[in-house]
Structure 1
């Protein structure tokens, strides 16, 4: 899209160059969330009464999807997706939509890549992810630095994320979630894992200077005081949100128009009709 003379480009929430650098330092032993996302996708596809022959996967780490399906096209989650229009009967968008500066635009590109009545399946991190870390860091930063700075990316709640499918033009949208909890020895152990999966701070407005050690020491103390379990370990919540939608087709079921019902609800349920 050509930018009008004198106009300013929209502000970006995420610094994609920094995100790429963070992801380049990934470790194979820290990729459990991405592997769980793949397992979730495979389980859900096994429940769909259809054989898919032209799959595509949008993801940050192609190695996680090795051997996923014969002939599957695996593409990077760039701002512009390398997907051919109408070429796929299923598109998987895996563990990257929560880093998108334009999530609706990503979904629209996926819809355009689908054949008629093709399936989109998205897995991303949801709003309750790292809720304990957010709380501990916010309290510690207020005490140590006198205010808050952008440290942990905002993530959408399931209700809002489901609405993105409708905005992108998908039919029969469904959103549900899979809550997960991991346990860590201390805050350093948790941050080490987040770095190993490429999920550390890439916000465009993040502070560029190093944080003082005292900040993380206090955050560890607060985390432990409020959230430690009986064994003294620190639980960390992760929330996998799963979105499914279908590219529109005349063969799909359509909701009845208002007023078209042939029977009253009370009659269908065989109960007296309420006068309230």
Structure 2
């Protein structure tokens, strides 16, 4: 018997529309995307390897292509994302419109895949990771950056408290984000070797909390859920923004790295194969 598909959380067409509308003024609000692109570049520059065919996916992809250096040693780059209109507006020639969980590329098409600011809007994150593993050739590198669980936690709480106080009920106002503690396991399940997960908090203090909402709109990151929320009342918004006045806003960026398996990669030691025990090492430290 076929199992029913889980209900959708996100609305891909609505997100695509939001991105396309944001493209015109995106450079005025791209600080977060630029930061993750710069971080991806820093990581690439430390890898002593030539990447012949790269896939950059997501709203941050054009920025990474723009700042690439020779030190990163990347050859042909394909740029893809949820909205071709958005990518074209940012100067990308012939972008590929594709969601992360349905990449229109053959197996082992790339030796580098970088996902920037798209995985957090996928219902099927495990499926998206499997897709990105599928298009990587052996010993290919995967890097992904996305907003993680603590992102906009103060905005979420302020809106929830204000709406409950004013109306007696609450609606979703901030999308759920990925829990980084689960990401390492998802990388392994998707077939990546040498998985690494780290978190980079980006803290911003806005003089006017309304600027935060303008940035989210300018990034194309306003709410795009499959099940719509009730219209946000002005008095609720006003009370929430008053709560946020003077607070810092945290964007927690999760970063995943992993490799498509290859025989040349280091292997973990088998249990019991160590030549010295942990107890001996601890005794030695105490004797120093």
Q: TM-score, normalised by structure 1?
A: 0.87
Aligned to 2:55, the other structure's residue is in SS state: strand
Residue 58 of structure 2 is matched in structure 1 by: 59
Residue 278 of structure 2 is matched in structure 1 by: 265
Q: Deviations for 1:162-200, whole angstroms, at most 9, x for unmatched residues?
A: 221012111110001111112223232111110000111
Q: 2:187 aligns with which of 165, 172, 177?
A: 165
Task: State whether structure 2 residue 15 is matched by structure 1 residue 16.
Answer: no
**Displacement, 1:64?**
2.6
Residue 242 of structure 1 is matched in structure 2 by: 255
**Displacement, 1:97?**
0.4
Task: State whether structure 2 residue 244 is matched by structure 1 residue 223.
Answer: yes
- Once residues 83 and 105 of structure 1 are traced to their aligned partners in structure 2, the CA distance between those partners, rounded to angstroms, is 15
Root-mean-square deviation (CA, aligned residues, Å) is 2.0
Residue 91 of structure 2 is matched in structure 1 by: none
Matched residue count = 260
- Once residues 84 and 56 of structure 1 are traced to their aligned partners in structure 2, the CA distance between those partners, rounded to angstroms, is 12
Checking the alignment, whether the CA contact within 8 Å between 2:201 and 2:253 is kept in structure 1 is yes
Note the residue ranges of structure 1 that are not aligned, 5 or more in a row. Answer: 229-233
**Displacement, 1:82?**
2.5
**Displacement, 1:142?**
0.9
1:64-213 mapped onto 2 (5 Å cutoff): 64-67=63-66, 68=68, 69-77=74-82, 78=99, 79-207=101-229, 209-213=230-234
**Displacement, 1:50?**
1.5
Aligned to 1:81, the other structure's residue is in SS state: coil
Moved over 2 A (4+): 7-10, 60-70, 265-273
Note the residue ranges of structure 2 that are not aligned, 5 or more in a row. Answer: 69-73, 83-98
